Amino acid sequence: MKGQRSAWKLPYISPYFLSYSFFKSKKFFTHKRNSCIAPHFLDKRMAVHSGNKWKSYLIRTNKMVGKKLGEFSMTKLFGSAIAQSMALKQKRKKEDKKKKKK
């Protein structure tokens, strides 16, 4: 795997995720996209900041354990998604102009 951490270092987990307040809450918000998902994260709802929005998801399977939090919240739009968002913005502008005229 590309960019894998050395085995002797162990996976990086932010100290916040090991705190008492983390274990009490069912949902939490974080900017720590580089932290690995540990087994004690199972059945917790996370909201990870992608730089623009908060992306919320539930960690429910063991397949997610060992991956990074940032892998589940994309930061870039690709091709057709950009075109769709631009078309939507233009459509909203036209609707706003029509509302202002009325």
Looking at residue 34, which CATH number applies to its domain?
Answer: 3.30.860.10
- The number of CA neighbours under 13 Å toward the Cβ of 96 is 6
Number of domains the chain is built from: 1
- Residue 1 in this model has a pLDDT that exceeds 80: no
Cβ neighbours of 49 (radius 10 Å): 17
List phi, psi (to 5°) of 78. -115, 140
- pLDDT tens track for 65-83: 888 888 887 777 677 777 7
- pLDDT tens track for 20-73: 777 777 788 888 888 888 888 888 888 988 888 888 889 888 998 888 888 887
- Is residue 32 in a domain? yes
- Is residue 91 in a domain? no
Domain that holds residue 35: 7-75
